[in-house]
Structure 1
């Protein structure tokens, strides 16, 4: 619920915090390191630099933890510091464990921009980390793709074709299976109406994946003028208005650019229109 109010605040241009209310990157990193060390008592957690930790397992293997997204999320809502740290600590702690076999009932479709996979690999190499494994990716439109992943208790685990084969899932049935799982896993979606731009909520991790659920996108039910125009600037923000609402479209563009530039887990500042049962560039 706190996250919903924070996002509504985005529409209302509220929620600005003074710099003095926010920990510095160094202070945040030290506090995060202590929490992660407590969660992994057998590992050695050390600070490399602000927002960069190393996690050395007893066996000698070393993993890296980058806190950029955690700090960005915390900076936007400092009052949620404990929740942010707890969620990211749980995610990092789970990621240090060896993954088990892929569970077909937990496969979900994650909507990303086309450059995401290449950028993830480039960023990992630049930071000296391990490059992401091969992924199973399907085209959605000219700008967006579907990356298939496994929804785990604390993470989103991307997998490759070999994992899919070993799990006995046929590629031509993957999308239908993932969408059905998504319907089961996602919290109930809700439209938060605004005078110019409205917002669709459904938890936080898979909000852009709502683009794949045809039952969500009815201009009449959503109360928009003309065709549905949407923006998915980050992983947890989906905004929409009507194509005939000129001021709404203008505001949507402004919010998409600002949120994609400032928010954690940035996606794209492009706008898309729902036409012929699918989303295409607006």
Structure 2
């Protein structure tokens, strides 16, 4: 089991190839060169760590945050051009897709941590745009629930204004978004051994979002030793074990903290234990 899961989630890069991997600055510059060449962007400036401010020919501006793009690149460096092209393509698709999908039925929950909240707040402060721009709820002291419009090309987090425009009360969001998620995901499976180490498998995007699906987290589904413990290193990786299973906990921690594992859409590297139908820091 230990060898299988390590092989399942590990990414290997040979030492020879690793020497040619772009650092963050070089990756950002590569993106800048490509976005000016391939779009209506007339200027693109690197303003911060993996932060690109773009100006369009029509005078509009936007900011691209390349954290996820760079993590995707580290996971598969040979696909550099494909990854950059996909993120550039999303620039033109996002606006069209979001407008077409701005409906209650497309609201989904997305799990983020305090690091993400603080990072975006800091960026907004630098740009003199104020506080964190999106509506969120606390799942616990570390994890937060953001709400987004799911489109074919992107996930757009929703500010309060978007939520209000759809006539949705904030108190309705969790139940509504979970219902939408259940309708969107074709299957939800538990892979591995639910009594020792298992993984939640859905659609490769919203696995972490199922932390809010209370009915799922029972000892009937996960007959582990002790209380249910989850690690959510990425939005598509949820690893489950038991609080009293010392060997399995060690295996899971090795997976999560393995420096060779580059999580493209990171959530948190700490564990969470199920207590009184709530997730608390383990």
Structure 1 length as normaliser, TM-score?
0.78
Q: Measure how far apart 1:176 and its partner are.
A: 1.1
- Deviation string 1:191-240 (CA, Å, 9 cap, x unpaired) is 33279643222233322111112343343434533332101122222111
Measured in 1, the distance between the counterparts of 2:260 and 2:168 equals: 34
Q: Measure how far apart 1:38 and its partner are.
A: 6.1
Q: Is the 8 A contact 2:108 2:148 kept in 1?
A: yes
Cα distance change, pair 164–62 in 1 and its aligned pair in 2 (3 A):
closer
Aligned to 2:275: 275
Aligned to 1:90: 89
Measured in 1, the distance between the counterparts of 2:196 and 2:112 equals: 26
Highest RCO, 1 vs 2 (Cα 8 Å, sep ≥ 6): 2
Aligned to 1:249: 249
Aligned to 1:77: 76
Structure 2 length as normaliser, TM-score?
0.78
Q: Measure how far apart 1:79 and its partner are.
A: 4.4
Comparing 191-200 with 243-252, greater Cα deviation is found at 191-200
Aligned to 2:41: 43
Q: How many pairs align? A: 274
* Residue 20 (str. 1) matches residue 12 (str. 2): no
Measured in 1, the distance between the counterparts of 2:29 and 2:253 equals: 38
| Secondary structure of the corresponding residue to residue 119 of structure 1 | helix
Q: Is the 8 A contact 2:9 2:255 kept in 1?
A: no
List aligned pairs for 1:98-137, cutoff 5 A. 100=99, 102-126=102-126, 128=127, 134-137=133-136
Aligned to 2:230: 230
Aligned to 1:212: 212
Unaligned runs of 5+ in 2: none
Q: Measure how far apart 1:180 and its partner are.
A: 0.4
Cα distance change, pair 27–238 in 1 and its aligned pair in 2 (3 A):
same
Q: Measure how far apart 1:107 and its partner are.
A: 0.8
Comparing 198-207 with 238-247, greater Cα deviation is found at 198-207
Aligned to 2:184: 185
Aligned to 2:61: 62
- Deviation string 1:7-51 (CA, Å, 9 cap, x unpaired) is 9556565523335255424665565456545652x3325464995
| Aligned-residue CA RMSD (Å) | 3.6
Aligned to 1:154: 153
* Residue 144 (str. 1) matches residue 113 (str. 2): no
Unaligned runs of 5+ in 1: 1-6
Cα distance change, pair 155–145 in 1 and its aligned pair in 2 (3 A):
same
